[in-house]
Chain A
Amino acid sequence: MRHLLDAGDLSRDEAVGLLDVAEAMARTQSRQIKKLPALRGLTVVNLFFEDSTRTRISFEAAAKRLSADVINFSAKGSSVSKGESLKDTAQTLRAIGADAVVVRHSASGAPHRLAHAGWIDTPVVNAGDGTHQHPTQALLDAFTLRRHLADGTGDLQGRHVVLVGDVLHSRVARSNVQLLHTLGARVTLVAPPTLLPVGVEDWTCDVSFDLDTAVDGGAPAGAPDAVMMLRVQRERMTSGYFPSEREYARRYGLDRARVDRLPEHAIVMHPGPMNRGLEISAEAADSPRSTVVEQVANGVSVRMAVLYTLLAGQDPAQAAADITRTETR
């Protein structure tokens, strides 16, 4: 593994390996001293062309707990806002001596360009690009699902995950559909037809326009083991994707009544930040089934696993064994 750009690039064994490393990382995080020396002397640059406090601090915490030096480079107030190109920014980072670049960008494919255009030669981690991919989010979601539904080991064979909301504009949905399929889970997308991309019929999942059928375990895929709500941006309404917030909340929002109809073991997920009252009601967000806060904590472990695997240049299985050895020492 040279870069992490696309959840679809991961094989089943690579994905399970990364989740295993993340489990090992998570165990170290329950120690009193959380910091590991693994990446001492290396520099990780967080290159954020789009605002995202949550993802940036998660990557920052992950890198620092591995003893890497962290440079945060955000577009606002930097030369990027003065019109500097992605290429020049990349070459500046190379000159500074970055050992890995974590990039968030509003343009789909920008991390892919950074990794492959010949501008820099460091590992690139995609921290979310446009409406394309957010692979570490998919990994942390899989990690959370695996803990709840598969005792924290192996894959997600036979589990059923329902994703609800703005699939069209969602990099989280694209990454999750691919990774969950790779891990053996079944996925159902639920959305109004306006918020599904033309071409979704080729994806490795089922599609439904009706949330109640999905919640009740009707066709096509049966009862859900997890429901993942996607953030809906309010400006979608003004572009005519749906008529009103209230209509969206009624038809596609996860409220108390729908949560109560889910199977007892099913969990409720959301990548955050949530629009309470739009795609998820306050009761659903705060219910004991909700894993929203847990997902944030898991995000740090997963990102530690990704940075460690890329920068230590190991395959994930070997990396997991190494980390476990430091635990027992």
Chain B
Amino acid sequence: MTRYLLRSVAPLGAERTDLLLGDGVILAVGADAREAAGRDAVVVDGDGLVALPGLVDLHTHLREPGREDTETVRSGTRAAAAGGFTAVHAMANTDPVADTAGVVEQVWRLGRDAGYADVRPVGAVTIGLAGERLAELGAMATSAARVRVFSDDGKCVWDPVLMRRALEYTRAFDGVVAQHAQEPRLTQGSQMHEGAVSAEIGLAGWPAVAEEAIIARDVLLAEHVGGRLHVQHLSTAGSVEIVRWAKARGIRVTAEATPHHLLLTDELARTYDPVFKVNPPLRTAEDVEAVRAGLADGTIDVVATDHAPHAAQDKDCEWSAAAFGMTGLETALSVVQHVMVDDGPFGWADVARVLSVTPAAIGGVTDHGRPLEAGEPASLVLVDPAARTVVDPAAQATASRNSPFAGRELPGAVRWTFLRGHATLADGVLTEADR
């Protein structure tokens, strides 16, 4: 196995040092690394690069099985590696739905065979995402895929009794129920955030209360039965307040925000370009500010991409006919740097916390999000914070082109990604998997 000597990198943005990778782990740090490297180690000039533990996404749509025209496990994990991710959680809304041990094991194996990132399948909470009967959560938990995160993402577990049961039942194997908080009756036919812009441009509104009402109910249910709740793609100022309140009460709740909800607003719907159509919808500038503040003060635990690839014909149409969702794996780190580091209070240790350490902890992914120390798994990423790139969807590794950041200049570029010592991305270029 190739050894890599990473020269003069800044772990978590701190003082520069050298890291020696080999045998899947970090073999040595600092002077020890230079001494132990030997002649055959590949030397990476890390001058100006920040080293972070490999990123972990709690919310990825890989679309396989079922919609291989928009993404496969292979293309999606290549996009992950290009974006600095070494582990992704693959959502269950595939065809067939990932609601059995058989499907989650298939997705897990496809990820292992592709070799670009560890794929942690998310199991459906209910059979067929239908919201009627619990899927075999225990079978998925004990399968080879070792599922810990369960979600009907795309649909809300609306029935309060079913949600209660899921929160209770998953306690047996330390699972977490990741809720897509969307009251279905309040959002029938909804197209965008309900507010001043929707009133003017005549698109049916998706009110903030439809998200907040479900989150409020769910945190109270989690408190009542002691289960573990994860709030997906939190998007409103009110949701931040509710989660802040719940955490202060000691309720076991975590929350994620997406890069697009940290940067983009509902004003973009005025273009009627469905590349900006997403669920939950882009909200107001005040909501964006509140989500940023929530991420800054720890109310929101992690950033997750909700990477949702779609076929061209499902976006090259009128708004109301278009699919919800946007790609995000290859832009997430840049958006977080832009919003939270360059224009915000975060240091690189905070970035590692919200994009690697905490998502790994929530998902029960024990060998990711680890410290950059000798003996730890060599799953890490080297970032050039000084780079600036104009986002070009055609140049991305994802099989779909629906990036809302197309044409925007964003800071930071991922140069190297290592998965257990293998370079999946080498100096900005995806490698062919050699496993």
**Complex Cα gap A6–B363 (Å):** 48
Q: Check: A109 CB closer than 8 A to any chain B CB.
A: yes
Q: Check: A202 CB closer than 8 A to any chain B CB.
A: yes
Known: A198-B194, A199-B194. A171 touches B319 (CB 8 A): no
Known: A113-B272, A131-B202, A132-B201. A107 touches B195 (CB 8 A): no
Contact yes or no, B317 A133, CB < 8 A: no
Q: Mark A191-202, 1 if CB is under 8 A from B, else 0.
A: 000000111101
What are the residues of chain A within 8 A of B198 when measuring CB–CB? 197-199
**Complex Cα gap A174–B195 (Å):** 15
What are the residues of chain B within 8 A of A87 when measuring CB–CB? 316-317
What are the residues of chain B within 8 A of A86 when measuring CB–CB? 317-318, 321
Q: Check: A67 CB closer than 8 A to any chain B CB.
A: no
Q: Check: B207 CB closer than 8 A to any chain A CB.
A: yes
Contacts between chains A and B (CB distance < 8 A), count: 77
**Complex Cα gap A164–B355 (Å):** 52
Closest residue of B by beta carbon distance from A114: B318
Interface residues of B in 192-214 (CB under 8 A from A): 194-205, 207
**Complex Cα gap A86–B198 (Å):** 22
Q: Check: B106 CB closer than 8 A to any chain A CB.
A: no
What are the residues of chain B within 8 A of A110 when measuring CB–CB? 318-319
Q: Mark B347-363, 1 if CB is under 8 A from A, else 0.
A: 00000000000000000
**Complex Cα gap A86–B316 (Å):** 9
Q: Check: A96 CB closer than 8 A to any chain B CB.
A: no
Interface residues of B in 160-218 (CB under 8 A from A): 191, 194-205, 207
What are the residues of chain B within 8 A of A105 when measuring CB–CB? 318
Closest residue of B by beta carbon distance from A108: B202
Q: Check: A117 CB closer than 8 A to any chain B CB.
A: yes
Known: A87-B316, A107-B318. A198 touches B202 (CB 8 A): no
Contact yes or no, A109 B203, CB < 8 A: yes
Q: Check: A154 CB closer than 8 A to any chain B CB.
A: no
Known: A199-B195, A199-B198. A108 touches B203 (CB 8 A): yes
Q: Check: A241 CB closer than 8 A to any chain B CB.
A: no
Q: How many residues of B contact A (CB 8 A)?
A: 24
Contact yes or no, B321 A107, CB < 8 A: yes
Contact yes or no, A132 B197, CB < 8 A: no
Most A CB contacts (10 A, CB to CB) among B271, B318, B320 go to: B318
Contact yes or no, A130 B202, CB < 8 A: yes
Closest residue of A by beta carbon distance from B195: A199
Closest residue of A by beta carbon distance from B194: A198
Known: A117-B316, A130-B320. A199 touches B202 (CB 8 A): no
What are the residues of chain A within 8 A of B316 when measuring CB–CB? 85, 87, 117
Q: Check: B366 CB closer than 8 A to any chain A CB.
A: no
Closest residue of B by beta carbon distance from A119: B316
**Complex Cα gap A105–B202 (Å):** 13
What are the residues of chain A within 8 A of B202 when measuring CB–CB? 108-109, 129-133, 171, 174
> Distance in Å from the Cβ of A101 to the closest Cβ of chain B?
14
Closest residue of B by beta carbon distance from A198: B194
Known: A132-B202, A199-B200, A202-B196. A109 touches B318 (CB 8 A): yes
What are the residues of chain B within 8 A of A112 when measuring CB–CB? 271-272
Listed A/B pairs (6) with beta-carbon separation below 8 Å: A87-B316, A107-B320, A109-B201, A110-B318, A112-B271, A197-B205
- 13 new A-B contacts, CB < 8 A, other than A132-B201, A174-B200, A199-B195, are A85-B316, A86-B317, A108-B201, A108-B272, A109-B203, A109-B272, A112-B271, A113-B319, A131-B204, A197-B198, A198-B205, A199-B194, A202-B199
Rank and list the top 3 A-B pairs by shortest CB-CB distance, nearest first.
A132-B202, A199-B199, A109-B272
- Which residues of A pack against B, CB within 8 Å? 85-87, 105, 107-110, 112-113, 116-117, 129-133, 171, 174, 197-200, 202-203
